[in-house]
Amino acid sequence: MKKMALVQMRERQKGKVVEVHAGTGLQNRLLSLGVYPGKEIIKLSQFALRGPVAIKVGRTVLALGHGMASKIIVELE
Return residues touching other proteins (CB under 8 A).
11, 25, 28-34, 36, 39, 44-52, 54, 57-68
Angle at 54 between CA 61 and CA 70, to 5 degrees: 125
CB under 8 Å to 69, separation ≥6 — which residues? 5, 6, 7, 46, 52, 53
Q: Which is nearer to other proteins, 2 or 24 (CB)?
A: 24
User: C-beta of 39: minimal distance to other proteins in Å?
Assistant: 8
User: C-beta of 77: minimal distance to other proteins in Å?
Assistant: 19
User: C-beta of 48: minimal distance to other proteins in Å?
Assistant: 6
Helices H / strands E in the chain, number of each? 2, 6
